[in-house]
A = this chain, B = another copy of it.
Amino acid sequence: MAYSKKEEFPDQDLRLAEIAKALSHPARIKILRILNQMNSCMVGGLVEQLPISQSTVSQHLTELRKAGLIIGEIDGPKVCYCINKEQLTKTKKAFDRLFSGIGCC
């Protein structure tokens, strides 16, 4: 088949869908919760608290980073991840706009 019609939808809807996709796996939601709870965390600390392998955790972190929801700072041989609060605030507002734009009280 000819593929991915996603680009044919309004930009606003596409961007919101992308953020929703970043939130569409329980591991990624859990990661956000852990990062908030601990303020920041090394990858190893996350791996310890998740039932998935290091390489899979790394993949999920990459997706959260691409969506702008987290930031990773290199700290020697380690990488320290934390939540991107600014982007998260924007995301919350985008969802709020969607819900109110959809007649949600």
Chain A residues in the interface with B (C-beta under 8 A): 5-6, 8-10, 13-14, 16-18, 20-21, 23-30, 32-33, 35-36, 51-52, 83, 85, 88-89, 91-92, 95-96, 98-99, 101-105
| A89 vs B96: C-alpha distance when bound (angstroms) | 11
14 interchain pairs, CB-CB under 8 A: A6-B27, A9-B51, A10-B30, A13-B29, A13-B33, A14-B26, A17-B23, A20-B23, A24-B24, A33-B101, A35-B102, A36-B101, A83-B103, A91-B99
Q: For A16, what are the chain B residues with a Cβ–Cβ distance below 8 Å? A: 23, 26, 29
Write the nearest CB–CB distance from A63 to chain B, whole angstroms: 12
Q: This chain: how many copies in the complex?
A: 2
Consensus secondary structure, chain A interface: helix
B6, A26: Cβ atoms under 8 Å? yes
Beyond the given A6-B26, A9-B51, A10-B26, could you list 9 further A-B residue pairs with CB under 8 A, ordered by the A residue number?
A5-B27, A6-B25, A8-B51, A9-B27, A10-B30, A21-B21, A32-B102, A88-B102, A88-B104
